[in-house]
Structure 1
Amino acid sequence: MDAAPPFASLTAAALAVLTAADPAEKVRLTRMAAAEWAAGALPIGAVPMVPERPARPERPDLLPPNKMPHRRLTRGVRGRVTLLHALAHIELNAIDLAWDILARFAPDFPPGFAADWLRVAAEEAEHFALLAGRLAALGAAYGDLPAHDGLWQAAQETAGDALARLAVVPMVLEARGLDVTPVMIAKLREVEDEASAAALEVIYRDEIGHVTIGNRWFLWLAAQRGVGEPRAAWQALVRQHFRGPLKPPFNDDARASAGFTGDWYEPLAAHAA
């Protein structure tokens, strides 16, 4: 007799990840779900009772963003650990953000939406694993340093609207990663940490794909809803759901390769305020 699959549905897998506190368990469950989906053994399922916030480990201590110490990358181990720890925290949140999108919205979209966002979840899990590995190589671990607690605000702000979620999470937050990651890669190479730079290269490449996915499904849903000109609709949603202006400088080339051109985001930039 064949063993029962580990998850009854994709949305059940989403709930399992969101309620798992241990980051390594989130990675493990994500890998299992991706394998089941690839084998064609995972239906999408119905929308579960999605928690307002995902489960988290006891450490790190979560602080308001304005209470976080400033990061400074130096040749010493401490500066690199501080940077990599902050990035690991972002990637842990990114795992949960991808699964939260799947849990809340995948049943209302074509199957390609679930396939795309499961790919995002799987890649974010591998990003966290990469960064956790680099921290371990430097004698540290996720949880050793405080982290800021502002990353889940966008999810809570857009929990009831798929179009707003797509506008803010991939097209603002992940697009910001395209702007800053090349600078971090260059600084890591300056301090001769090639292994960490290589990990960030993987993350940077994948994040272009994530912004592409967000852009594609934003355009699809905007057309389905008949909201009018998509660029104006996106700008209105960002003004409504994202606090503050967008911060230049922008990586226009990487954003354009994701189908996201400057006429969308430049009017919301800090220098245009």
Structure 2
Amino acid sequence: MEIRKFAERILLSESLEEKLTAATEIFTDQQPGKPLQIKEPTRPANLQFAAPRTAPAMPKPSAFVEQEKRALAHHIMANHELQALEVMAYILCAFPDAPADFRLGMCKIMADEQRHTRMHKERASVLGLEFGSLPVNCYIWKKALSYESILDYLAGLPLTFEGRNLDHTLEFEQYFLDAGDQRSAALMKVVYHDEIQHVAFGLHWLRQLKPDHLSDWETYEQHLHWPVRAALSVGDTFNREGRKQTGMSDEFIEQLYQSAQTDVPPNQKPKSLD
């Protein structure tokens, strides 16, 4: 299957089933096409982006004892994963001249995003909430519209949003365990291990594409678009070991930690897992 065809199917299809159907053919990249810019991905009617501040917020950890709140959490995370998938498809269409190995690697990661979306969608359904029955936000997508280069994308999505998931997935695993929901907890652990590989992919390509005179950290910071910033790649806890597994240097990890320490009020500073 041509990479461009795969990306356009995800980006422009009105069918959620089509968006989440994994490719079964070997990918080719002989027709990457011209750069494509769009304001929003095409979605089914029940998953159109809601007006600002109208989608439900993530429940507090203490509320996870309620089944409907756990279902809501999966509903929200399904939309996060779907947005990430759509952003990746957008990047493939917007930057057709990106290195072929990068584009092929993106397709492999997109298969994970499809699987993650299906996992959260199915778990929400088991818990009593069908995906698309509540309004969904567009935060991740809207931030991607500011990406002007592959380095912008790498800093914004793999190293910040997915980087934050190195903390969030473990936090949510514990929330579900505390609520006695073993299946949801196991789902989060699967996503956690995939996110390590996704962040590693982003870091690898940042190193491949950055100017030689800039460090990893300097490149990362220079390609973030406010209000997205380094501190947003850190959750309520700070998982140093997971970040080491991505290939981040000790210096890069410490700079991330310090950015979160100086960005938030003292009572909200992240706790280290080490």
TM (norm. structure 1) is 0.84
Out of 141, 150, 174, the position equivalent to 1:162 is 150
Structure 2 distance, partners of 1:244, 1:181, is: 18
Partner of 2:218: 232
Are residue 191 (structure 1) and residue 179 (structure 2) matched? yes
Partner of 1:4: none
TM (norm. structure 2) is 0.84
The answer (yes or no) to whether the contact 1:135–1:141 under 8 Å persists in 2 is yes
> By how many angstroms is 1:54 displaced?
1.0
Could you tell me which runs of 5 or more consecutive residues in structure 2 were left unpaired when the two chains were aligned.
265-274
Q: How does 1:25-174 map to 2 (within 5 A)?
A: 25-28=18-21, 31-32=22-23, 35-37=24-26, 43=30, 45-60=32-47, 62-65=50-53, 68-69=56-57, 71-72=59-60, 73-109=63-99, 111-158=100-147, 160-174=148-162
> By how many angstroms is 1:123 displaced?
0.4
The aligned length equals 256
> By how many angstroms is 1:67 displaced?
6.5
Could you tell me which runs of 5 or more consecutive residues in structure 1 were left unpaired when the two chains were aligned.
1-6
Q: Give the secondary structure class of the aligned counterpart of 2:13.
A: coil
> By how many angstroms is 1:23 displaced?
2.1
> By how many angstroms is 1:63 displaced?
3.9
Structure 1 distance, partners of 2:213, 2:152, is: 12
Are residue 256 (structure 1) and residue 244 (structure 2) matched? yes
> By how many angstroms is 1:124 displaced?
0.3
Structure 2 distance, partners of 1:44, 1:250, is: 42
> By how many angstroms is 1:189 displaced?
1.4
The answer (yes or no) to whether the contact 1:23–1:92 under 8 Å persists in 2 is no
Give a deviation string over 1:12-37, Cα, whole Å, max 9, x none.
22112100123222011xx12xx222
Q: Give the secondary structure class of the aligned counterpart of 2:39.
A: coil
> By how many angstroms is 1:264 displaced?
4.1
The answer (yes or no) to whether the contact 1:17–1:99 under 8 Å persists in 2 is yes
Structure 2 distance, partners of 1:103, 1:70, is: 31
Structure 1 distance, partners of 2:82, 2:136, is: 11
Structure 2 distance, partners of 1:79, 1:240, is: 31
Out of 11, 24, 33, the position equivalent to 2:17 is 24
Structure 1 distance, partners of 2:108, 2:31, is: 14
> By how many angstroms is 1:10 displaced?
0.8
The answer (yes or no) to whether the contact 2:155–2:220 under 8 Å persists in 1 is yes
